[in-house]
Amino acid sequence: MLMRPIPSESIHEEISLPSYSLSIAAPNGSVGGYPGVGITRAEATNVALLYSAGLGRDPEVHGLNFWIDQRANGMPFEVIAGAFLDSPEFTNRYGDDDLMSAQRFITVMCENVLGRLPDAAGFAYWEEAMARQGLAREQVLMFFADSTENRSQAAYVDTLYQVGDDWFL
């Protein structure tokens, strides 16, 4: 199951669920390369995880840097998640997330992000979170991207490094 405490540098911004109370503050230790806000390696990693979770593939350098720049300029993770869900790439591969049932969306998230079908308890949890707690699809994508299970399968993020203004895998 995907439930776990979320570290302070996670991609979640003011989301509450049963067993969760999450928020993100401006991270300490911003590193160079971006005017104004700056971005930490942890945030760059979170952008890469969200990218791969949303599109079902490892990010390529130009696309990753585009979204890192958006985050560095203050774009919330939830807006980035929405952009992935609304992208032609997601829609062509999985269908329009706005037209999917919650059950289909949960199944797509499990298959796309975790590489497996949902287990019964996890499926019930996410269905409840979406139906009764009002969790938006963008937020569900954020949770899946930040899950321990996804992070354990995303070894490529360990190779993320910065040179000047750009990040590379």
Where residue 155 falls among pLDDT bands split at 50, 70, 90?
confident
pLDDT of residue 24 exceeding 80 = no
C-alpha 96: how far from chain center? 18
CATH of domain 15-168: 1.10.3130
* Whole-prediction pTM: 0.78
* Tens digit of each residue's pLDDT (9 = 90 or more) over 66-102: 999 999 999 999 999 999 999 999 999 999 999 999 9
**Among 17, 77, 19, 20, residue whose Cα is nearest residue 43:** 77
Could you give the C-alpha distances from 110 to 101, 113, 151, in angstroms and in order?
14, 6, 14
Q: What is the pLDDT of residue 7?
A: 40
